[in-house]
């Protein structure tokens, strides 16, 4: 892959330093590590891919990278949706997927310690064995890794009740740019000793340190299978008002999802479920002891907000079927063309306004958009669908996305609720952070990574 | 107070810059601003006290402080327990207690925006008017201010269910050392744009910026008055095992407090409640719809763990009476002598071990200690009681505290669960953070406050 003898000598040195790690320079294999899910972003040519097996390996890698001024792009399973793991020229890809040890499950203190490469769902499964759960459940939960989830502060469907990844991280172990190992937090519930470095590293997208393991908070597993409700609404405004009513009633669904008309039509064109007459759909779940009562209350609220029909089930198989529509949303969009998935957030009361602004932006620029939302969190995923012979995102889509981002900010919202900034949203980030916020982000980055080696181009 | 003409000229300049703020140099008045609750720590001689009325005032103050290299000590109500607001020589005290506007209550999105000087309980009261609550409830809730609560990441009794202050802060407005205004976060539930500067500022104890307002998350008010349980136990180990049983059962009390024998005896010597035969007491509350059922379950768990008797009440007046014992703990300790209140945290499973270590440390150094704990969080407040003609903390108490801090760290815990580091625990902080953690804390401090003007001596 590299014919420069100096570069080859450096890679030979690296191979000697981390004999237990896998170091790959074969272009055919490296090609599988150039992108996350945002293949529309062009990737550079890295020097190779290293797959550490231990924190010590990562220490050696970063000391080497600092010595030779080699930029590194950390990655896990590559399920990211913001170009956080897109390779850059001359970089070393550091893939953590072989650090797969769950170091500890501590049921008494409801804590798990998992290495970066552990699949997120595996942490949850290990917790379930002792009656606990790991709450964060990004859609990629069966593929994505704890390291990536922590580095991006991943969200998911259950966030509406259980919070985002940050709310489940008690501490992290991270290797800094120069190879020092930083351990933050601990396993106490309360801890105010020093700055919140745990929170700082969560969501830092590999720009401040390479997360090698995390101490995770576990929760009691729900006492029952969830009750699932699905409501079809005659308008998006009606569905949004139902969401507000659920929130106002103080109910705590464990899932509250919105699908817009375009999404339902895309699913229906494929699966013929008779959804095309429905303008908007809400799917809710409750997993607490009083789930049946709450489902009755929500049925009444949905109906009062204008739902044509509300289906309810507490049977696990039927529940899964009702939720299936939500699972079909992305595959249905992908049938229509290439997709750029966005991730804006607004205050919950502005949900209907934001969907309307998304539709206006799409119409204005003549692009197709379908939208699903983690409605209870005000977190929307407008997916732009386009044709592109070379895979590049057309300018019309970027212009529509630009309108959507600025609409989110105007409505008091955010460019990204759970996917991160990555390379994808970098150019809009200063619009949200403002000049002082941008400068402070930059000051922190410079303080922790003065040579700028950690995931360059990401974040600020 | 200052007779140096240069200092006087600078203060005159400051007075002109912030005509709406109050600037006090009268030594008699300034004397009231030299300490927080840790009067045992010696205070320096400040130049004066300024009481801004607006964020613009704070901007002018900090620009002035940077221009003239004047260290500032920010403070709110002065209820801190770690010397976070102890005055230092030559400093300007910046007291935020006159910034008392609740800028907004947004019931739809469950958000409040409150200036730094708003009394914490007033935010809760404003929220209750629209059926919501502000959850954090440090013991000082009727005196302490939002700015101080956010700056120290204050805890409280309800944390065990609702989390610490950080869990309720969506964003902050802070004035940086050079007078720039930083706005972080927003009012969306999910937000991953840029580093978590909100989390970084929460708990930063005035060392990174002066918090002038905060955007706070409100929660639905509990549906009912709480049910209160009090159990007396024949041993501390029995009480600790009852705590573990409650945690293991997945129950979510809204309060779970432990009082040790020394505390109960101190209360009994004063109030003669017949508690002196009880070795340890647990007080629990439930505030959810199923509180009665949960109270029955906890009664059974307390009894199984060896409780001699369990009193239960859902009557508000009786509940208040049952909780009164907890309220008497500090005043009862203060009757015995001067007090140094500590604040260690351990994993919940180590609660009994930690109390035993506290008692051993006290015995070893011949000092008196009484301990209460937010048991459900593993957060203990050993209070050292001593005589001291000049108010200084005796060396024997410091040695016992040193043992207690190191025991907490050995048990996987923290020096401070909710009170903060302040001046009081500064010398032990590197023991917890380690050399890398200490260096990273220092790097962040230097990046944001390069002249070291913000609350010098606090934190790292």
Domain CATH code at residue B287: 3.30.70.3450
For the stretch A286-301, pLDDT in tens is 999 899 999 999 999 9
Q: Is residue B32 part of a domain?
A: yes
Nearest to A155 among B153, B190, B433 (CB): B190
Q: Is B170 exposed, middle or buried (0-12, 13-18, 19+ CB in 10 A)?
A: buried
Q: Do A161 and A250 share a structural domain? A: no
CB contact under 8 A, A159 and B190: yes
The ipTM, to two decimals, is 0.96
Q: Is residue A231 part of a domain?
A: yes
Least confident of A102-106, B276-280, B331-335: B276-280
CB contact under 8 A, A443 and B440: no
What is the average pLDDT value for chain B, to the nearest integer?
A: 96
Q: Is residue A212 part of a domain?
A: yes
Counted domains in chain B: 3
- A329 is written with which tokens? 């949303």
* pLDDT of the residue at B399: 97
- pLDDT(A256) > 70: yes
Q: Which of A289, A305, A328 marks a domain boundary? A: A328
CB contact under 8 A, A195 and B202: no
Q: Assess B203–A contact: CB distance below 8 Å, yes or no.
A: yes
Q: Which of A62, A95, A128 marks a domain boundary? A: A95
Q: Assess A248–B contact: CB distance below 8 Å, yes or no.
A: yes
Query: Is the separation of the CB atoms in B371 and B358 below 8 Å?
Result: yes
- pLDDT(A391) > 90: no
- A114 is written with which tokens? 């998992």
| pTM of the model as a whole | 0.97
Residue in A closest to B435 by C-alpha: A182
Q: pLDDT band at A40, cuts 50/70/90? A: confident
* pLDDT of the residue at A113: 98
Q: Assess B28–A contact: CB distance below 8 Å, yes or no.
A: no
CB contact under 8 A, A208 and B187: no
Chain B residue numbers touching A416 (CB-CB < 8 A): 191-193
Q: pLDDT band at B331, cuts 50/70/90? A: very high
Residue A43, min C-alpha distance to chain B (Å): 22
CB contact under 8 A, A436 and B176: yes
Q: Do B67 and B138 share a structural domain? A: no
CA dihedral B201, B213, B96, B17 (to 10 degrees): 100
* pLDDT of the residue at A248: 86
Q: Which of residues 314-373 of A touch B (CB under 8 A)?
A: 345-349
Taking alpha carbons only, the member of B219, B217, B215, B258 closest to residue B236 is: B258
Query: Is the separation of the CB atoms in B371 and B383 below 8 Å?
Result: yes
Residue in B closest to A347 by C-alpha: B188
Residue showing tokens 């190992």: A181
- pLDDT(B276) > 90: no
* pLDDT of the residue at B248: 86
Q: Is residue A11 part of a domain?
A: yes
Q: Is residue B123 part of a domain?
A: yes
Q: Do A133 and A23 share a structural domain? A: no
- pLDDT(B1) > 70: no
Q: Do A87 and A128 share a structural domain? A: no
Q: Assess A196–B contact: CB distance below 8 Å, yes or no.
A: yes
| SS3 of residue B24 by DSSP | strand
Q: Do B322 and B240 share a structural domain? A: yes
What average pLDDT does this structure show over A205-230? 96
Which CATH number covers residue A75? 3.30.43.10
Residue in B closest to A380 by C-alpha: B190
Residue B273, min C-alpha distance to chain A (Å): 32
Residue B164, min C-alpha distance to chain A (Å): 7
Q: Do B206 and B106 share a structural domain? A: yes
Q: Do A244 and A180 share a structural domain? A: no
For the stretch B341-373, pLDDT in tens is 999 999 999 999 999 999 999 999 999 999 999
Distance between CA atoms of residues B155 and B373, nearest Å: 12
Q: Do A216 and A227 share a structural domain? A: no
Q: Is residue B290 part of a domain?
A: yes
Residue A101, min C-alpha distance to chain B (Å): 21
* Of A276 and B189, the one with more pLDDT: B189
Chain A residue numbers touching B290 (CB-CB < 8 A): 289-290
Least confident of A388-392, A393-397, B51-55: A388-392
Q: Do B207 and B233 share a structural domain? A: no
Find residue A114's DSSP bridge partners: A102, A214
Q: Assess B135–A contact: CB distance below 8 Å, yes or no.
A: no
For the stretch B218-255, pLDDT in tens is 999 998 999 999 999 999 999 999 999 998 888 999 99
What average pLDDT does this structure show over B13-39? 96
Q: Do B266 and B188 share a structural domain? A: no
- pLDDT above 90 covers a percentage of chain A that reads 94
Q: Is residue A415 part of a domain?
A: no
Q: Do A106 and A71 share a structural domain? A: no
* pLDDT of the residue at B2: 54
Q: Which residues of A397-425 are buried (b: 16+ CB within 10 A; e: fewer)?
A: beebbebbbbbbbebbbbbbbbbbbbbbb
CB contact under 8 A, A200 and B199: yes
Nearest to A290 among B248, B289, B439 (CB): B289
Q: Which of B62, B80, B95 marks a domain boundary? A: B95
For the stretch B107-151, pLDDT in tens is 999 999 999 999 999 999 999 999 999 999 999 999 999 999 999
Q: pLDDT band at B25, cuts 50/70/90? A: very high
What average pLDDT does this structure show over B323-331? 94
Chain A residue numbers touching B203 (CB-CB < 8 A): 192, 195-196
* pLDDT of the residue at B421: 97
* pLDDT of the residue at A276: 81
Domain of B25, in residue numbers:
5-95
Q: pLDDT band at A220, cuts 50/70/90? A: very high
- pLDDT(A62) > 60: yes
Q: Assess A434–B contact: CB distance below 8 Å, yes or no.
A: yes
Q: pLDDT band at B391, cuts 50/70/90? A: confident
Q: Do B227 and B216 share a structural domain? A: no
Q: In a mutagenesis test of the A interface, which of B80, B151, B182, B193 is the best target, namely the one with the most A β-carbons within 10 Å?
A: B193
* pLDDT of the residue at B58: 98
Q: Is residue A175 part of a domain?
A: yes
Distance between CA atoms of residues A369 and A383, nearest Å: 5
Which CATH number covers residue B121? 3.30.465.10
Q: pLDDT band at A2, cuts 50/70/90? A: low
């Amino acid at each position: 892959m590299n014919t420069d003898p100096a570069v080859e000598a450096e890679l030979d040195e690296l191979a000697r330093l981390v004999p237990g790690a896998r170091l790959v320079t074969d272009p055919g294999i490296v090609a599988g590590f150039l992108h996350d899910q945002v293949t529309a972003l062009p990737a550079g040519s890295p020097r190779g891919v290293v797959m550490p097996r231990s924190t010590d390996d990562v220490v050696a890698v970063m000391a080497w990278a600092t010595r030779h001024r080699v930029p590194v792009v950390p990655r896990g399973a590559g399920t990211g949706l913001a170009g956080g793991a897109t390779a850059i020229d001359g970089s070393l890809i550091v893939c953590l997927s072989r650090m797969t040890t769950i170091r500890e499950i501590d049921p008494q203190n409801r804590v798990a310690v998992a290495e970066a490469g552990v699949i997120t769902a595996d942490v949850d499964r290990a917790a379930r064995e002792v009656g606990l759960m790991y709450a964060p459940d990004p859609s990629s939960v069966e593929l994505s890794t704890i390291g990536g989830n922590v580095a991006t502060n991943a969200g998911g469907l259950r966030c509406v009740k259980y919070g985002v990844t940050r709310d489940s991280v008690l501490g992290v172990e991270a290797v800094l740019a120069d190879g020092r190992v930083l351990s933050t937090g601990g396993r106490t519930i309360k801890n105010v000793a020093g700055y919140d470095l745990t929170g700082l590293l969560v969501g830092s997208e590999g720009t401040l340190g390479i997360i090698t393991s995390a101490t995770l908070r576990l929760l009691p597993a729900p006492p029952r299978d969830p009750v699932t409700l699905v409501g079809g609404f005659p308008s998006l405004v009606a569905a949004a008002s139902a969401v507000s009513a659920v929130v106002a009633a103080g109910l705590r669904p464990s899932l509250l999802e919105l699908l817009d008309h375009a999404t339902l039509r895309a699913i229906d064109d494929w699966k013929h479920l008779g959804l095309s007459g429905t303008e908007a759909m809400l799917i809710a779940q409750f997993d607490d002891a009083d789930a049946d009562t709450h489902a009755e209350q929500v049925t009444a609220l949905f109906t009062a907000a204008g739902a044509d029909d509300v289906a309810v089930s507490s049977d696990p198989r039927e529940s899964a079927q009702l939720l299936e529509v939500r699972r079909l949303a992305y595959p249905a969009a992908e049938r229509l063309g290439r997709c750029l998935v966005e991730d804006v957030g607004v205050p919950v009361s502005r949900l209907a306004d934001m969907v309307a602004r998304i539709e206006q932006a799409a119409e204005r620029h003549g692009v197709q958009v379908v939208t699903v939302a983690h409605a209870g969190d005000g977190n929307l995923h407008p997916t732009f669908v386009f044709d592109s012979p070379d895979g590049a995102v057309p300018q019309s889509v970027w212009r529509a996305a630009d309108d959507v981002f600025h609409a989110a900010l105007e409505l008091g919202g955010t460019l990204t609720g759970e996917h991160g900034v990555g390379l994808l949203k970098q150019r809009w980030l200063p619009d949200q952070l403002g000049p002082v916020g941008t400068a402070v982000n930059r000051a922190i980055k410079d303080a922790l990574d003065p040579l700028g080696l950690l995931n360059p181009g990401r974040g600020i």
